[in-house]
Amino acid sequence: MADAAKDLASGTVGGAAQLIVGHPFDTIKVKLQSQPAPAPGQPPRYTGAIDAVKRTFAAEGPKGLYKGMGAPLATVAAFNAVLFTVRGQMEGMFRSEPGVPLTISQQFLCGAGAGFAVSFLACPTELIKCRLQAQGALAGASTTGSVVAAVKYGGPMDVARHVLRSEGGARGLFKGLFPTFAREVPGNATMFAAYEGFKRFLAGGSDTSSLGQGSLIMAGGVAGASYWGFVYPTDVVKSVLQVDDYRNPKYAGSMDAFRKILKAEGVKGLYKGFGPAMARSVPANAACFLAYEMTRSSLG
C-alpha cells in the first residue's frame, strides 16, 4: 500500500475517534460562543459550561450534545484524508532521504500546509455544524438583538439546502473562510510540531518508534492543547460569522466581528467557550493521534 493510501486510511480512523470523543465538548463550546449578548442588567442564557450542559440535557436530552454530528461524521474521512495525506506528502518533499526524521520547524511547515488545504473542507462543514449546534441557544431571539434569526433546521442537509437557496448559493457555504484559514494554518502547524516535539522529549531523541500507547496519548493531548491555546479567538470569530443572519447581519466581516466582540465584551469575549474547547482538545486529540499511529503501524 502506498504511503498516501496509508495516511488516508489512518487519518480516517483517527478522525472518527476524535469526533466520537470530542463532539459533546464542541457542542457546548459553540453554544457558549454563539449565544446572544444579554440585555443590560440581564444574565446571559448560559452562565458557563456546566450550566450549558444542564440546560442542553433538560431541553434535548443526551442526544442534544451530539447535535450537528452528522455533517462532520459524513466528511470525517475526507477531512482527515486531506489533513494527514497533505502532511505526509509535504514530509516527503522535505525529507532528504527515506527514513530521515524531519526537524521540528519542518514539521511546523508540514502542518501549516495541511491546515491550508483542509480549510476548504472545514469551512462549509463547520458552518453546517455550528448552525445546528447554536440554534437551540438562539431560538426565540430577535434578529435585531441576536447573532442569527431563529431558523430551525431539520439536519445537516436541511442547513445546506437553506444556505444554497437563500444565502448566495455555494458561496454561502464558505462564509467564515478567512478566520478558518487563520485557525487551521497556524493551529495545525503548532499541533503537529508540538506532537513530534513532545514525542522526542519522551523518547529522549528523534527515534520515537519505541514509545508506548501511554506516551502517544500524552503527546496527542499536548498537541491538542497547543492547537487551541494558540488560535482560539479566531475560532470565536469564525463561529459568530457562520451563525450570523444573512439578511440582517450583525457583522460586516472578520475584523468587524473581532472589533465588536472586543468592544462589547473585552478580551474575555474572544475566549467564550475556551474551557470546553480545552477539555475537548486533550482527550479528542489523544484519541485521534493514538488511533492514527496504531492504524499506520498496522499497515506497515
Q: How confident is the model at residue 4 (pLDDT cuts 50, 70, 90)?
A: confident
> Which stretch, 5-14, 154-163, 216-225, 280-289, has highest mean pLDDT?
216-225
- The residue assigned the cell 431560538 is 139
Higher per-residue confidence, 48 vs 200 = 200
Share of the chain above pLDDT 90, in %: 48
Angle at 9 between CA 120 and CA 279, to 5 degrees: 65
Residue 147 has pLDDT above 50, yes or no: no
Residue 57 has what pLDDT? 87
- Higher-pLDDT residue of 39 and 250 is 250
Task: Find cell 463550546 and name the residue.
Answer: 29
**Residue 138: per-residue pLDDT:** 55
11-21 pLDDT, tens digit each: 888 888 888 88
pTM above 0.85, yes or no: no
CA-wise closest residue to 286 among 192, 208, 217: 217
Residues 6+ away with beta carbon under 8 Å from 30? 68, 129, 130, 133, 134, 239, 273
**Whole-number pLDDT of residue 45:** 82
- H or E element at residue 65: none
Cβ(14)–Cβ(286) below 8 Å: no
Q: What is the mean pLDDT of residues 28-48?
A: 80
Average pLDDT over residues 225-246: 92
Contact 101, 206 (CB under 8 A): yes
Q: Show the cell assigned to 30.
A: 459553540
* Greater pLDDT, 242 or 64: 242
Look up cell 426565540; give the residue.
Answer: 140
Contacts of 65 (CB under 8 A, 6+ apart): 23, 24, 27, 28, 53, 56, 57
Of the candidates 193, 179, 154, 184, which has an alpha carbon nearest to the alpha carbon of residue 255? 179
- For 39-93, the pLDDT digits (tens) are 778 888 888 888 988 988 888 888 888 877 776 676 776 787 789 889 989 998 9
pLDDT value for 143: 44
pLDDT digits (tens, 9 = 90+) for 184-193: 999 999 999 9
pLDDT score, position 31 = 82
pLDDT at 139: 54
Cα separation, 10 vs 109, in Å, equals 21
pLDDT over 70 (residue 141): no
Residue 118 has pLDDT above 80, yes or no: yes
Residues 6+ apart with CB under 8 A from 51: none
Mean pLDDT of 174-199: 96
pLDDT of residue 105: 96
pLDDT in tens, 91-109: 989 988 877 889 999 999 9
Residue 137 in this model has a pLDDT that exceeds 50: yes
Distance CA 137, CA 122 (A): 23
